[in-house]
Amino acid sequence: MNCIIIEDEIPAADELKHILGNFDFIHVIGMGHDGEKGLQLIKSKNPDVVFLDINIPLKNGMDLAKEIKNFNKNIEIIFVTAYEEYALNAFEVAALDYILKPYDDKRIISTVNRLHKSFINKSINEQIPNVVNEVMKRIEIKKTQITEKLPCEKSGKIVLLNIDDIYFCYAENEKVYIKSKNTTYLTNYTMNRLQKKTKLFRAHRSYLVNLNNVKELYSWFNGTYKLVMDDDEKSEIPISRKNVRCLKEILDI
């Protein structure tokens, strides 16, 4: 089953490709980072399934989905987006699924299971290996293996950083950084993978926070908050409005 990922955030695209790599019957044959190049890629590769973000440059993902169906109505479309308001529109293009960010491996497993059944019912690929259940078990086991140290890069050296020493992680200019009390490190991990491995709080799309290293928080504007970290710079981390309620529940405030 050939698959194309259309996602403008490269770390997010790489993370999804990594998860899909656990399934032997799915082959990611291309990735596009804007709507126009994505459509060109789809027309040249004619994949079986497209994982598609909505808020992408040059061509809206919902409009792109309609063009994909006009090109080949048999291509399955799976939306992966941070915007829940387009869910009803997804039915208009007969999307197989609508995945909200941030997601976890279990959510992708559920979608792949539906995808698997859909292709069996259509008799598109009757030779799909019977390994889905085993792969799902393997991913579930992997999810529970939370690491105590993270490999980071600083001045050309690999540093193993204790999870407790992490103050926050952030994505900037298509790279991901880890901040300790007084040092910033580079990491090859994506934000989603860091969240799964460390269980840090997702304060914002671009920030993960160790709540044990927060000094204070204050109301900002439009229902959002900011965290003040206890690092040397007293870094301020924004909390998106949709994550404020979760934080209040965790802190019981």
Q: Which CATH number does the domain housing residue 166 bear?
A: 2.40.50.1020
Domain boundary among 143, 165, 200: 143
Looking at the structure, tell me whether residues 125 and 199 fall in a common domain.
Answer: no
Domain span holding position 43: 2-143
Distance CA 246, CA 21 (A): 31
Q: Structure pTM?
A: 0.49
Residues 34 and 59 in one domain: yes
| Vertex 70 angle, CA 64 and 75, to 5° | 80
Q: Which residues contact 73 (CB under 8 A, 6 or more apart)?
A: 94
Domain end position, chosen among 108, 123, 143: 143
- Asked if residue 156 and residue 132 are part of one domain, the reply reads no
- Spell out where the chain has E strands: 2-6, 27-32, 49-52, 76-81, 97-100, 149-154, 157-162, 168-172, 175-179, 184-187, 201-204, 207-209, 214-219, 225-229, 236-239
User: 92 and 120: one domain?
Assistant: yes
* 155 and 137 both lie in a single domain: no
Give the residue among 217, 26, 239 at the shortest CA–CA distance from 129: 26
Residue 161's alpha-carbon distances to 76, 139, 155, in angstroms, are 41, 24, 15
Task: Please tell me whether residue 156 adopts helix, strand or coil conformation.
Answer: coil
- Prior bond of 11 cis (ω within 30°): no
Query: Facing residues of 73 across strands?
Result: none
Tokens of 157: 């050296």
List the pLDDT tens digit at each of the 253 positions of the chain.
899 999 999 999 999 999 998 888 899 999 999 999 999 999 999 999 999 999 999 988 999 999 999 999 989 999 999 888 888 888 888 899 999 988 888 899 889 888 888 777 664 444 434 445 555 555 554 554 556 788 899 988 899 999 999 999 999 998 999 999 999 999 999 999 898 888 899 999 899 999 999 999 988 877 788 999 999 999 999 998 888 888 888 887 7
CATH number of 16's domain? 3.40.50.2300
Amino acid code (one letter) for 120: I
Cα(241)–Cα(207) distance, integer angstroms? 13
| 101 touches 80 (CB < 8 A) | yes
